[in-house]
Structure formats: structure tokens, C-alpha cells
Homo-oligomer: A and B are copies of this chain.
Amino acid sequence: MRARDLDLNRRRKDMILEAAATCFVKQGFHSTSMKDVCVAAAMSPGTVYHYVRSKTDIIRGIIEADQAVTSALLRSLSEADDFFAALFAALDRIAADISQDDLALSAEISAETLRQADLQKLSRLALAETVADLARAVSLGQERGQIDASLAPDQAAAMLIALLDGLLWQATLFGIERMKAQLPFAKQALARMMIDPDRTC
């Protein structure tokens, strides 16, 4: 019955995380109360706290789930033959898939992360992993002659992520439509950043 208990534990926690995510997306992290989460998960406070350590613990679960998605998307970049084609396709997909509420929540989670040491560490490791994954794709692109070989892959990756994060923030404030309109300019900027300007001379 140990196996069954562990399974119940995981299932109940997933239910709570899902219910909480729904609330957070709709109302934000700080304005959804644990009572809201309890109602959405159809459990009493005591039960919720039996499966979840704290409100912060729920954020931890969401960050981990998000990072798994990002990581998979980035690893697929390393498997592509054409770096820029794959990168631009990924940007298009991000712009097409993301919702305004998702953007708001992820900004809120990012901020929440800063005031709690363990969450901040989690968030820092996630970003470091993202940059490392992307640096690997950059390195492969350099070997294929698609990217300026004189660039440090991790620095190029950091710049690319910075530009993308900055655009996502602008999309959060100005709306996703504006980001879609910005994409061609962003692609040009990224290509210029990463292709040797003297290459065609």
C-alpha cells in the first residue's frame, strides 16, 4: 500500500498545482488566496496543506514544469540543420502560442522568485540551463559556418535570450500583437548580431 499512497500523494499534488495554476493565470499569484485554491481543488485547507508545503511550494512546482517545456524546445534547436531557420520557427511558435495571461503570470513568478532564496536558486539554475542549451546550438551553428565563429557561444546565447526576454516583457505590456509585428525586426537584429559582418566582403 506504500505504492498506492505515493501515487495518491502525487495525484493529489498535481490536482492542487493544476487548480492553483488556473487561479494564478486568471487573477495573479498574490491576489489568489489559498482559499481560492482550496475551492478550485475542491479540498479543505487542511487537505491542501497535507500535500503542499506552502503557497511558495506551488510556485516551485510551476517553475519546474515550465523549465521542462523550455528545455525540450531548446534541445530541438540543437538537432536542426539550419540554426536561423530553426530559431526563427521557434520564435514564431512562441509568439503564436503564448497568451497575455501566461505572460503576466510568468513575470509575476519571476519577481516572486527574487525574495526567496531557494526559489531564486531554482530560477537561476533554470536560466543557466537555458543559456547552456542554447550555447550548444550556437556552437553547432558555428561548426556549420552559419554563425560568426569568433563569437563566444555562451555570450551569444546570453544576448539572444536577453533580447527575447526583453521582447516578451514588451509584449506583456503592449500586447502580443505588437510582438508579432516586431518579429521581423527582431530576426534581422539577431541575424546581424550573430553573423560576421565581413563575411560577404
Q: Which of A40-48, A82-90, A103-111, A133-141 is the interface stretch?
A: A103-111
A124: min CB distance to chain B, Å: 5
Instruction: Specify which chain B residues have a CB less than 8 angstroms from the CB of A114 in the assembled complex.
Output: 28, 104, 107-108, 172
Q: Closest chain B residue to A199 by CB distance?
A: B197
A residues whose Cβ falls under 8 Å from a Cβ of B: 27-28, 30-31, 104, 107-108, 110-112, 114-115, 120, 123-124, 127-128, 152, 155-156, 158-159, 161-167, 169-170, 172-174, 182, 185-186, 189, 192-193, 195, 197-198, 200-201
Interface SS of chain A: helix, strand, loop or mixed?
helix
The 6 closest A-B pairs by CB, nearest first: A162-B166, A111-B111, A166-B166, A165-B166, A197-B197, A28-B115
Instruction: Specify which chain B residues have a CB less than 8 angstroms from the CB of A169 in the assembled complex.
Output: 110, 162, 165-166, 169
Copies of this chain, tallied across the complex: 2
A182: min CB distance to chain B, Å: 6
Are the C-beta atoms of B193 and A189 separated by less than 8 Å? yes
Are the C-beta atoms of B127 and A173 separated by less than 8 Å? yes
Extra A-B contacts (16), CB below 8 Å, given A107-B114, A158-B170: A28-B115, A104-B115, A107-B111, A108-B111, A108-B114, A114-B172, A127-B170, A128-B174, A158-B167, A158-B182, A158-B185, A161-B170, A165-B165, A189-B193, A193-B193, A195-B197
Docked complex Cα distance between A186 and B189 (Å): 13
Instruction: Specify which chain B residues have a CB less than 8 angstroms from the CB of A28 in the assembled complex.
Output: 114-115
A67: min CB distance to chain B, Å: 13
